[in-house]
Every structure is written in structure tokens, then in C-alpha cells.
Amino acid sequence: MVILDGKATADQIKIEIAEKVEDIIKKGGKRPHLAAILVGDDGASQTYVGHKERACVQAGFKSTILRFPAETSEEKLLEEIALINADNDIDGLIVQLPLPKHINEQKVIEAIDPMKDVDGFHPVNVGRMVLGLPSFVSATPDGIMELISRYKIETAGKHCVIIGRSNIVGRPMANLLSQKSNPGDCTVTMCHSRTKNLKEHTLQADIIIAALGVPGFLKGDMVKEGAVVIDVGITRVKADTKTGFRLAGDVLFSEVSPKSSFITPVPGGVGPMTITSLLKNTLKASGN
């Protein structure tokens, strides 16, 4: 069994990106600039934005975080997005989700200039991705594709079972892995909360992508010998640690890892790869 070390891979990609940035600057080019909007004071969102900012610094990017109180109106947020869209110094913009209930997330996503939408959530980018055209692919699916690619995992003709059909993970993942590409060329089954006999599907899978957000959901008896297992889940569960919680994946690692050929740990698997894909997209948005 091989552990898919997302942290080490992401560190390597960050070095590669930082080298590219240095080269751009040496040639008189512009430093890539990522702006992040954070509304409210949700602990997990603050942590994620903090990680993104640190990664920007490591890669030599300029990073701006715009913080707004939870009671900020939708109108005010849309105005701020319009300002950033018009700001030539800012290459990429992300709005950390979830947003407070009174703000329409879809409206906010659609207000972002698709050319700055480095999260790849805008319908223009989603549509282009589905058609296999150049686009910003959302960071988590892109990070998973990169991890599969860097570990040279064979995907052509394999049966991939994806658990979860969200717009940010399951659905784009199903699309990317079914495309005529490498990685790709998979036969894909997408399972979700209404799927009957889910275990019958997972037992047939050569590759399983668990993205449902239920800690320890995928057990050893649901996986066939030699399967590749990618665990996207990150749920904060109470624990006797300094922070009072630990991060739990959707895969019961102790049971599944002995049966798998490749497996991602949580933490240190998909999470760090997500951030490097955001950097990749920002570099692309800056015209490099």
C-alpha cells in the first residue's frame, strides 16, 4: 500500500510555482495577486483563508484578505466584488464559503469575473470544464487529478466510484475522470445520499473517491482488494487536543488502508493539494 502524500506533493508544487514566480519577476513581469473575501468569523473559514494566505506567501504571490462582518449586506458584497473585478492588480478572487444565510451564494459566485474565478465555481468555468475546454477547474478536483497524475496511477478503463454529488467535489470529479484524458478515461459511477445498496457499487470500484462529509463512512468491507482510495472528507470532530477537535476523513483508514493499493491520509492528503491548485489557477489568471 502506498500513501498518497498530499503534503509532500503540495510542498514540491509550491517550490515549482515559486521558481516560476521568481523567473517572472526577474523578467520584469508582474507578481501574481490573489484576493480573498471572508465574511463573518466562522472558525473553519478563518483557518482555510489563513492556509491560503500562507501558501501565497510561500509561492511568492501577493495576497490580500478582505474581511467583512457577518451582517454585511449582499449589495455591499456585490459592490466589493465589482471593485475587485475592475482592479487590474488583482488576478484571482475567491469568496470563502459558506456565506451568512442572508447572502445568496450563487449570486455572489456569478458576480465574479470568470477570468478571475480561480475557485472555478462560476458557471462559465464549470461549463467550459464540462466541455473539456481551457478553464479554471475547481481546486479540490484539480488537486485530486494532480495527485493521481504525479503518482502515475493508471486510470484508463478503470471503474471509479464517487461518493457525493456536490458541485464543488463529486460532480466535477465525475466529469474530469470520465473525460478522454490522462488522468481520465474512467467508467464513472456517482453515488449519493439516495443511492441504494451503495456497498455493491463500492465493492466493484478500482478507484473510490469519498466526498460525503461523514467521518469513517467507508469501511474495510466496502472496498475490494487493491483499490485506490481518495478521501476528500474533512470533518472537525471533538477530540482531546489543544484545539478541542481533530480532522476526520470519510474513510476508516485503519480498515481500508490494508486493502488498498494507494490511499490518501486525512489530514495531509487532498487538503494541501487543494491549496496548490488554487495557486496554479492564480498563476494562470495572471497570464502565466
The residues that touch ligand NAD, with contacts defined as CB under 6 A, are 140, 163-166, 168-170, 191-193, 195, 198, 211-214, 232-235, 270-271, 274
Please check whether residue 85 is in contact with residue 113, taking contact to mean a CB–CB distance below 8 angstroms.
yes
| Minimum CB distance to ligand NAD smaller for 93 or for 190 | 190
Nearer to ligand NAD, 24 or 233 (CB): 233
Catalytic residue among 5, 14, 91, 96: 96
Rg, C-alpha atoms of the chain: 19
- Smallest distance, ligand NAD to C-beta of residue 265, A: 11
Annotation says 119 is catalytic? yes
Annotate 185-197 with b (16+ C-beta within 10 A) or e (fewer).
ebebbbbeeebee
Q: Give catalytic status of residue 96 as yes or no.
A: yes
**Which one is catalytic: 5, 14, 52, 142?**
52
CB of residue 246 to ligand NAD, shortest distance in Å: 13
139-150 and 6-26 helices, crossing angle to 10°: 100
Three cell numbers at 269?
A: 492528503
Among 5, 91, 117, 119, the active-site one is 119
Nearer CB in complex with ligand NAD: 5/80: 5
Instruction: List C-alpha distances in Å: 104 to 85, 133, 209.
Output: 19, 28, 29
Place of cell 491520509: 265
Q: How many whole angstroms separate alpha carbon 139 and alpha carbon 109?
A: 15
Closest distance of CB 218 from ligand NAD, Å: 10
Whole-number Å distance between alpha carbons of 116 and 136: 9
Helix (H, G, I), strand (E, B) or coil at 93: strand
Q: Which is nearer to ligand NAD, 260 or 274 (CB)?
A: 274
Number of residues assigned to the chain? 288
In the complex, what is the shortest distance from the CB of residue 106 to ligand NAD, in angstroms, rounded to a whole number?
A: 14
Give the residue numbers marked as catalytic: 52, 96, 119
